[in-house]
Amino acid sequence: MGKSVVLGCLVVVLVGVLVVGGMAAGAYNRLNAADQKVSAEWAQVENVYQRRADLVPNLVATVQGAASFEKETLQNVIQARASATQVKLDANSIKDPAAFAKFQQAQDGLSNASRGLLVTVEKYPELKATQNFRDLQVQLEGTENRISVERGRFNEATQSYNTLRKSFPTVIVANFAGFKERPYFKAAEGSEKAPQVKF
């Protein structure tokens, strides 16, 4: 009778270990899948940022053709692009909130400089009339829209990952396995204020 009780206890403990191990493995696999989704969405964000970085030199070259165009505005765009292309993030770096914020700040700087360039161009009807400039402007505006969409998708994937990471009992596996919380893209500073339109 004593042996059967000990054997029964061992079976219960073994079943318990298997159940807990299976739950931990399942939680790990779900975390890994969510982490990979965030990385895949990040790759798309990088893709559209690269597209914009590739368009800006063509836009600058087209605008430089207008001899009377404001040099300071052009320099701001050139410097913002240089800054945006120097700040790099890979799939591991996007887990660092400080590095992520620095990257976002550089990209927001390029967005603002590009918008400033397009607003300034309004004063130059001869430049706006060129087909090359119009094509580049449309491509740049389309790319800015793509950036917004991809950043939104990235934030959705990040939210799913962070929610899963903080859920019980997955949070135990996440902490043990080193799955860190991921940062979100945030709106650019001052974007809550409506732009002033002057006629």
Note the pLDDT of residue 199: 31
Query: Residue 161 and residue 76: Cα distance in Å, rounded?
Result: 37
Report which residue type is found at 161: Y
Q: Could you give the CA distance from residue 193 to residue 97 in angstroms, rounded to a whole number?
A: 25
The DSSP-derived string for 8-73 is: HHHHHHHHHHHHHHHHHHHHHHHHHHHHHHHHHHHHHHHHHHHHHHHHHHHHHHHHHTSTTS-HHH
Domains and CATH numbers, the chain: 40-147 (1.20.1440.20)
Helix (H) or strand (E) holding 166: helix 131-166
Question: Rounded distance, CA 82 to CA 76, Å?
Answer: 10
Q: How far apart are CA 113 and CA 75, in angstroms?
A: 9
pTM: 0.76
pLDDT at 193: 53
The predicted pLDDT at position 66 comes to: 61
Ramachandran sector of residue 186 (left: φ over 0; alpha: ψ -120 to 50; beta: rest) = beta
Per-residue confidence in pLDDT tens, the chain, 199 aa: 577 877 778 878 888 778 777 787 888 889 889 988 988 898 888 888 888 888 888 887 777 766 456 677 777 788 888 888 888 877 777 788 888 888 888 888 888 888 888 777 777 777 766 777 778 888 888 888 898 899 999 999 999 999 999 988 889 888 988 898 988 888 766 554 544 434 3
| Angle, CA 45 vertex, CA 44 and CA 48 arms, to 5° | 85
Q: Which amino acid is at 70?
A: E
Amino acid 156: pLDDT = 93
CA dist 80 and 62 (Å) reads: 17
